Amino acid sequence: MWILLQIELFKIFKRPRTYIAFGAIAAIVFLIQVALKFDGKSYIDLLLSNLDGSFEMDDEFKSKMLNGYLICFVILNTLLIQMPLLVALIAGDSIAGEANMGTLRLSLTKPVSRTEYMFVKFMASVIYTVALLVWMALLALLGSILIFGVNDMVILRSRGLEVIESFDIWWRYVAAFGYAAVALTTVSALAFLLSVFAENSIGPIIATMSIVIVFTILSEMNIPIYDRTVKPYLFTSHMVAWKGFFYMKSNAEGATITGSVENLPAIMRSLLILVIYIGLFFSTAVWVFRKKDILT
Amino acid sequence: MSLIIEVKSLCKQFGDFRAVDDLSFTVEAGQVYGFLGQNGAGKSTTIRMLLTLIKPTSGTIEIFGMNLEKHRKEILRQTGAVIERPDLYKYLTALENLRIFTAMSGCRIPERKLMDQLEMVGLAERAHSKVKTYSQGMKQRLGIATALVHDPQLIILDEPTNGLDPQGITDIRNLIIRLSKEMKKTLVISSHLLSEMELIADSMLIIDKGKKLVEGMVSDLFNPSETIVELQTTNDELSLQQIKDSVFAGYLKGLRNDCILLQIHKNDIPAVMKSLMDMGIPVISFNSRYSLEDYFLSLTTGNLYVDTAAN
């Protein structure tokens, strides 16, 4: 199994198209960092303009706000919405791409069971997803820390500003990136499932993105009838729950509690729903593929 | 001789279409087994069922004495195959492709042996070139190298000479003969190049519309010594009458496309030809022809003789 996984990873990382996603992430992160380096104050002013007049900040506070941790949070907010496309590029190609190249039939005449084959293919796309996130973490978190330095992190919430002390941030980012990995794996599993039905990779990639876009629109829509009937069951409603790791509990006096997470059970419930989706997508893909006649 | 493949009552239904219909055949160890049929006859479907790419609707397949469904891995470990086009990873080199498919076959083969394999198919010098730079013939040879690299006992080649130039066809033919005669491998080969099959196959199976038409040793099924002769004269009707009235009337098979057809044993051709000339029949040309192609077409179309030029 390990050898098969090595083969899959070798094939993925030997293809130039694999690096498009890494290049795109580097470009976007770099552009955000450059923009905030030269015009960060305007950005902070824009953020604070949503608050009422009682929050008057001096320039020193604003410059402390603009630190590596906040920049990473901004980048995560921006990029995690776009990353499904980058993930679908590889996952949607896993089976359909092999069928298109004609290598699927040769591979399946080798003494490898179809379940094993699917498992290593999926694992390879999960590893690719994690690699993308690690790359993003390196650029967005470490890169921003190097450029902007560290300080306490200020989070804007509807009820006002919350400050997370700098020593209380790292574990939140680890948890957030871990959660994002599961969220993107859900998209990867969907693209992987659709890939089984197609004979070229364009179809599954477009279909995956269409589903993600439609589900995201439904998740974001403020129509009461959908709130309890549809939204809780859409995986896209749960993909953004990583933000919850940056929301803290408050004590009776209204002060935030260091090391706390406001609604951990809700995050765990969302995580469970995503894991169920992954299991459902993957097991359906295996079931279909095991029965499929290879005619390409 | 032991049986390598035993297929019983194999059927494959795609919706309303029956691609393979109650097909049974056996392949013995060490044979070159020709698998013949027109396009759409069910050859590729059968071969794909032998390689577990397509699930049979009914019937059983035993290879090396084991049930294919139950012992898929053990069987495929001893089997090598090229199905239709030898599609490989074009963005990888020949050596990388070979390494991948060797590993997938469950083998650990040193680099030197992989290079030997490429040497055998004449690709050692281009081992580090990407496959996308290869010609069709080179891809075909690399495909065969990937099928042979784990030293399988059974080799299944579906249209191995597709898209090759005459030199490429000769090279593949020589390789097949070498695999069979020197390395004692069992080969199942489907091809539409019947003249090629005539040269290399020991046994053959001809199928049409998914059904078996005939199976057996090439030497038993097809006797090229009983040849058809096309006789062209300046006056076919007169010549035909003269032949009917002569001792050669028994050889007469009819008139087709301005040719009188005679079925004669090869050894009798010189004597018959001389006698016809002596009878004053104005012969323009005297063309002996009877190939596996004629035999195949006669079986699949139901006619004893088929004008291949018209097909």
Extract the tokens encoding A267: 């995050």
The Cβ of residue B165 has, within 10 Å, a number of other Cβ atoms equal to 12
Taking CB atoms and an 8 Å limit, are A11 and B85 in contact across chains?
no
The distance in angstroms from the start CA to the end CA of chain B is: 39
Is the predicted pLDDT of residue A47 greater than 60, yes or no? yes
User: How far lies A102's CA from each of A14, A27, A179, A213, B82, in Å?
Assistant: 18, 34, 36, 31, 11
The distance in angstroms from the start CA to the end CA of chain A is: 25
Spell out the residues 6+ positions from residue A181 whose beta carbon is closer than 8 angstroms to its own. A129, A130, A133
Helix (H) or strand (E) run with residue A163 in it: strand A160-164
Helix (H) or strand (E) run with residue A279 in it: helix A264-291
Is the predicted pLDDT of residue B292 greater than 70, yes or no? no
By the CB < 8 Å criterion, does A109 face chain B? yes
Taking CB atoms and an 8 Å limit, are B88 and A103 in contact across chains?
yes
Taking CB atoms and an 8 Å limit, are B76 and A10 in contact across chains?
no
Pair A184, A133: CB distance under 8 Å: yes
Which sign does the torsion angle of CA B39, B42, B48, B51 carry?
negative
Extract the tokens encoding A258: 């260091």
User: Structural domains in chain B?
Assistant: 3-218 (3.40.50.300), 226-290 (3.30.70)
Average pLDDT, chain A: 88
**Confidence band of B311 (pLDDT split at 50, 70, 90):** very low
pLDDT digits (tens, 9 = 90+) for B37-94: 878 888 889 999 999 999 999 999 999 999 999 999 999 999 999 887 778 999 999 9
User: How far lies B276's CA from each of B82, B243, B244, B281, in Å?
Assistant: 51, 8, 12, 6
User: How far lies A211's CA from each of A124, A151, B31, B87, B195, in Å?
Assistant: 23, 39, 54, 32, 54
Extract the tokens encoding B79: 């089997």
Pair B55, A291: CB distance under 8 Å: yes
The residue assigned the tokens 């935030």 is A256
**Confidence band of B310 (pLDDT split at 50, 70, 90):** very low
**Angular region, B148: left φ>0, alpha ψ -120 to 50, beta rest:** alpha
Rg over CA atoms, chain A: 21
The Cα–Cα gap between A130 and A124 comes to 10
Spell out the residues 6+ positions from residue A178 whose beta carbon is closer than 8 angstroms to its own. none
**Confidence band of A222 (pLDDT split at 50, 70, 90):** confident
By the CB < 8 Å criterion, does A106 face chain B? yes
| Average pLDDT of the residues in B107-123 | 86
By the CB < 8 Å criterion, does A49 face chain B? no
By the CB < 8 Å criterion, does A199 face chain B? no
How many Å lie between the alpha carbon of B295 and the closest alpha carbon of chain A? 30
Taking CB atoms and an 8 Å limit, are B91 and A110 in contact across chains?
no
Taking CB atoms and an 8 Å limit, are B83 and A101 in contact across chains?
no
Quick check: helix, strand or coil at residue B41?
Answer: coil
Return the minimum-mean-pLDDT range out of A145-154, B55-64, B84-93, B218-227. Answer: B218-227
| Average pLDDT of the residues in B111-133 | 88
Q: Count Cβ–Cβ pairs < 8 Å, chain A vs chain B.
A: 77
| DSSP-assigned beta bridge partners for residue B5 | B27, B63
* pLDDT score recorded for residue B306: 45
* pLDDT score recorded for residue A114: 93
Is the predicted pLDDT of residue A49 greater than 80, yes or no? no
Pair A29, A141: CB distance under 8 Å: no
**Confidence band of B307 (pLDDT split at 50, 70, 90):** very low
Extract the tokens encoding A169: 């941030």
Taking CB atoms and an 8 Å limit, are B91 and A293 in contact across chains?
no
**B298 or A54: which leads in pLDDT:** B298
* pLDDT score recorded for residue A176: 93
Beta strands in B160-243 (DSSP E): 186-190, 203-208, 211-217, 226-233
Torsion, Cα B235 B238 B240 B246, to 10 degrees, reads -130
Pair B233, B239: CB distance under 8 Å: yes
* pLDDT score recorded for residue A271: 95
Taking CB atoms and an 8 Å limit, are A7 and B83 in contact across chains?
no
Quick check: helix, strand or coil at residue A141?
Answer: helix
* pLDDT score recorded for residue B226: 67
pLDDT digits (tens, 9 = 90+) for B146-197: 888 888 999 999 888 777 778 878 888 888 888 888 888 999 998 877 777 7
The Cα–Cα gap between A185 and B214 comes to 54
Beta strands in chain B (DSSP E): 3-14, 17-28, 32-37, 58-63, 66-67, 79-82, 154-158, 186-190, 203-208, 211-217, 226-233, 252-256, 259-265, 283-289
Taking CB atoms and an 8 Å limit, are B74 and A102 in contact across chains?
no
How does DSSP assign B61-104, residue by residue? EEETTEETTTSHHHHHHTEEEE-SS----TTSBHHHHHHHHHHH
| Average pLDDT of the residues in A231-255 | 87
* Selection from B292, B290, B228, B291 nearest residue B260 by Cα: B228
* Selection from A102, A78, A192 nearest residue B140 by Cα: A102
φ, ψ dihedrals at B33, nearest 5°: -105, 115
**A229 or B10: which leads in pLDDT:** B10
pTM: 0.83
Return the minimum-mean-pLDDT range out of B147-161, B194-208, B259-273, B293-307. Answer: B293-307
The Cα–Cα gap between B20 and B42 comes to 6
Extract the tokens encoding A95: 């089976």
User: How far lies B46's CA from each of A164, B28, B158, B212, B280, in Å?
Assistant: 67, 17, 10, 11, 54
DSSP 8-state code for residue A95: T
By the CB < 8 Å criterion, does B85 face chain A? yes
The Cα–Cα gap between B18 and B22 comes to 10
Contact list in B for residue A109 (CB cut-off 8 A) is 51-53, 76, 79, 81, 83
| Average pLDDT of the residues in A118-137 | 93
Return the minimum-mean-pLDDT range out of A263-277, B10-24, B135-149, B247-261. Answer: B247-261
Q: Chain A: residue nearest B81 by CA?
A: A109
**Confidence band of B223 (pLDDT split at 50, 70, 90):** low
| Average pLDDT of the residues in A264-281 | 95
